[in-house]
Structure 1
Amino acid sequence: MKNFARKCVKDLEAYKVEAPQYDIILNANENPWDFPEALKKELCDEIMKAPLNRYPEACFPELLAELSDYTGVPEDQIICGSGSDELIAMINQSFMNPGDTAVTHTPSFAMYQIWTAIADGQFVGVPDKNGHIPDVEGIISAAKVNDAKLIYLCNPNNPTGYLFPRYDIVQILEETNALVILDEAYMEFKGSTHVDLIENYPNLLVLRTLSKAFGMAGIRCGYCLGNKALIDVMYKVKSPYNLNVLTQKAAVIALKNREKLLDRLKTLNAERHKMYKALRDMPLDSLYPTASNFIYFETGKGEAIYEAMKENGILIKFFKGNETMPASIRLSIGTPEENRKVLEILKKVL
């Protein structure tokens, strides 16, 4: 049978997600607390009133109004998508020609490379320096040498948890000719954003999501902020009804109640500090500081830890390692009870 697949897709390895059939799920950096019951009831009331035989709002005006109020960015400089994944796809569809290059620091979010490959682009990953410090000069050099169209900066970074200082972001914006995508999916855990830079840098897009800090991963709602000219181009490739009624209604309710939802981060951050302190006393190869809702560490016993967790109904993220990277673990922060169980198993294995 003839192979109909595009070559760039044929050679691509599928991003497979492990089925979440576990008692405790700590592999995807989700918020451990569900949407509050009172807000779920409010959502049910809204859905009961919504005409499901009609298409949803194509440009989500109510959602844009709430996002503008939350971010301080005008509505015409915001576009929404089904999570950050769709927005990254839209960025590639909008700005990448076949053969164009995207640059990022590594290790980082796998979807940058996957969507670059699907766009038939070239991907250049610049390894971190020792101690997982981003190589800013290396990123700039790679962008210049390859005439990069896009540069992805994950801040805080997934999976290592580090932050780019503001002056590094500005340096990359000013010393390259690329469109810089600043991925702030985990911004709320640290409380620092650089979205104000879009006022002075027309080559900057900022990605955000309601999946992490807001605890809304199940509704798939992300948004992108930037110069109006860039956002207008992205609207040209956006599918007409990419956010369903449920997603739009739930996102609006979440944003209207953001103080209540984000207040839960105090407990989560306290748990992160507690977990980090406990891990610091364990015989790990390397433990890295984090500005997000997960902790990243390297250990030769990574596979043993992963298997021990699975045997106890706990799913975590394990990176096997390669010639340039040792085996490592990324632990999402769970509830206090979940974190206690994880520490018990870690102590046994280590």
Structure 2
Amino acid sequence: MDKLIRENIKNLNAYKVDAPQYEIIVNANESPYDFPMVLKRKFCDEICNTDLNRYPEACFPELLTELHAYTGVPEEGIICGSGSDELIAMINQAFVNPGDVIVSHSPSFAMYDIWATIADARHIRVDDLPEHVPDIDTMIAEACEHNAKLLYMCNPNNPTGYTFSREEIIKVLDAVPSLVILDEAYIEFFGKSGVDLIKFYPRLLILRTLSKAFGLAGIRCGYALGNKSIIDILYKVKGPYNLNVLTQKLAVIALKNRDTILRNLEIFKAEREKAMAFLKALNAFKIYPSGSNFIYFEAPQAEAIYEALIKKDILIKYFKESDRQPGSIRFSMGKPQENQKILAIIKEVVYNEA
């Protein structure tokens, strides 16, 4: 069997996630609020009137109509996938040959590196400057020197919460030969999208998802926005029925009722600011500004915090110390009472470690 495996896959570590069997889960940047029951019932009615023995719409016309209404991007400039993961895979399949260069800032979303490895590409991860500010100038230099096929900018960035300015995004778009992928998975929490730049930059592709602010991580619905020429290329590698009928139906309901669902954004922002102030008052961590629904901080007690929370049946995201970064924690905002419990445990760890 070993002789049959592609060489670039042999040493690739499978991306595994913790089973969500915890009382409180704040490790995956999900919404703690479930989809409203009244909309679930509407979904049940829709499914009861849907022929499940037939394949789903291959190009999701009803969903595209709602995404156009939400984003303002023409339907011909939108493609959907099973989360951003599938869209990243499609981008690699369409544009990346073995040995091609991909550039991103680091730390950032782990799937950029995993899909680059699967594509047998060379992934140049440009380490952040101090204060976790992405090194834009070095990213541009690397992309130009190596004629990079893809360049990723995660905005807001996962895991650090950094938000790129419009000027930084335009600087990159003006300078590099690459397809620039602006990952806006958390854009609803930030509010300043680069979607209007699509009409000026034909090499800009924006990734979005319904997993975060819309609270629909369970249905796996992502979408990409771009110039028609890019979207047409992605359709060439898209599976014929990549988005099942259940996902399509629920995504349409969510988008039609987006004003109701997105009311929670203010709660997330308020909880983030309260948690940020609490953590800063402990004077024990290096805490970074965040434009998303999570807080990222570096701490000598990171492992102790993780273990203390696990003992209390709480799952948080812990990054082990490495050559690239010190031990750190990413804390997704839960419900107010959940956040209070987590912060109390963190405070206890700090005092015990002092």
TM interval, short-chain normalised: over 0.9
Asked if 1:251 is matched to 2:241, the reply is no
**Separation of aligned partners in 1, 2:169 and 2:45:** 43
**Separation of aligned partners in 2, 1:55 and 1:8:** 35
CA shift for structure 1 position 283: 3.1
Counterpart in the other structure of 1:176: 176
What are the Cα deviations for residues 31-89 of structure 1, in whole angstroms up to 9, with x where unaligned? 11000000000000001111000000000000000000000000000000000000000
Look up the SS of the partner of 2:104 in the other structure: strand
Find runs of 4+ consecutive structure 1 residues off by over 3 angstroms: none
**Separation of aligned partners in 1, 2:196 and 2:329:** 34
What are the Cα deviations for residues 303-333 of structure 1, in whole angstroms up to 9, with x where unaligned? 0000000000000000002123111000000
238-247 or 262-271: which moved more?
A: 262-271
**Separation of aligned partners in 2, 1:99 and 1:300:** 38
Counterpart in the other structure of 1:198: 198
**Separation of aligned partners in 1, 2:8 and 2:93:** 15
Look up the SS of the partner of 2:282 in the other structure: coil
Counterpart in the other structure of 2:56: 56
Counterpart in the other structure of 1:121: 121
Identity %: 61
Counterpart in the other structure of 1:80: 80
CA shift for structure 1 position 2: 4.6
Counterpart in the other structure of 1:223: 223
Aligned residues of 1:284 and 1:298 also touching (Cα < 8 A): no
1:137 partner letter: D
Counterpart in the other structure of 1:311: 311
Look up the SS of the partner of 1:329 in the other structure: strand
What are the Cα deviations for residues 163-210 of structure 1, in whole angstroms up to 9, with x where unaligned? 111111111111110000000000000111011111010110000000
Q: Which residues of 2 match residues 72-111 of structure 1 at below 5 A?
A: 72-111=72-111
**Separation of aligned partners in 1, 2:160 and 2:73:** 29
Q: Which residues of 2 match residues 1-350 of structure 1 at below 5 A?
A: 1-350=1-350
**Separation of aligned partners in 2, 1:28 and 1:337:** 18
Aligned residues of 1:284 and 1:297 also touching (Cα < 8 A): no
2:56 partner letter: P
What are the Cα deviations for residues 237-260 of structure 1, in whole angstroms up to 9, with x where unaligned? 000000001100000000000000
Aligned residues of 2:279 and 2:285 also touching (Cα < 8 A): no
CA shift for structure 1 position 145: 1.9
**Separation of aligned partners in 2, 1:155 and 1:58:** 30
**Separation of aligned partners in 2, 1:69 and 1:324:** 41
Aligned residues of 2:77 and 2:225 also touching (Cα < 8 A): yes
**Separation of aligned partners in 2, 1:148 and 1:282:** 43
**Separation of aligned partners in 2, 1:309 and 1:148:** 42
TM-score for both structures, normalised by structure 1? 0.99
2:24 partner letter: I
2:223 partner letter: Y
Look up the SS of the partner of 2:342 in the other structure: helix
Look up the SS of the partner of 2:225 in the other structure: strand
Look up the SS of the partner of 2:181 in the other structure: strand
2:47 partner letter: I
**Separation of aligned partners in 2, 1:42 and 1:307:** 41
**Separation of aligned partners in 1, 2:147 and 2:58:** 35
What are the Cα deviations for residues 74-129 of structure 1, in whole angstroms up to 9, with x where unaligned? 00000000000000000000110111010000000000000011011000000000
**Separation of aligned partners in 1, 2:209 and 2:323:** 33
1:139 partner letter: M
Where structure 2 has 5 or more consecutive residues not aligned to the other structure, the ranges are: none
Look up the SS of the partner of 2:35 in the other structure: coil
1:131 partner letter: E
The number of residues matched between the two structures is: 350
**Separation of aligned partners in 2, 1:68 and 1:7:** 42
Look up the SS of the partner of 1:103 in the other structure: strand
**Separation of aligned partners in 2, 1:35 and 1:313:** 23
**Separation of aligned partners in 2, 1:147 and 1:177:** 6
**Separation of aligned partners in 2, 1:69 and 1:17:** 34
Aligned residues of 1:92 and 1:115 also touching (Cα < 8 A): yes
Look up the SS of the partner of 2:321 in the other structure: coil
**Separation of aligned partners in 2, 1:60 and 1:238:** 12
Aligned residues of 2:29 and 2:332 also touching (Cα < 8 A): yes
1:5 partner letter: I
CA shift for structure 1 position 29: 0.1
What are the Cα deviations for residues 199-224 of structure 1, in whole angstroms up to 9, with x where unaligned? 01011000000000000000000000
TM-score for both structures, normalised by structure 2? 0.98
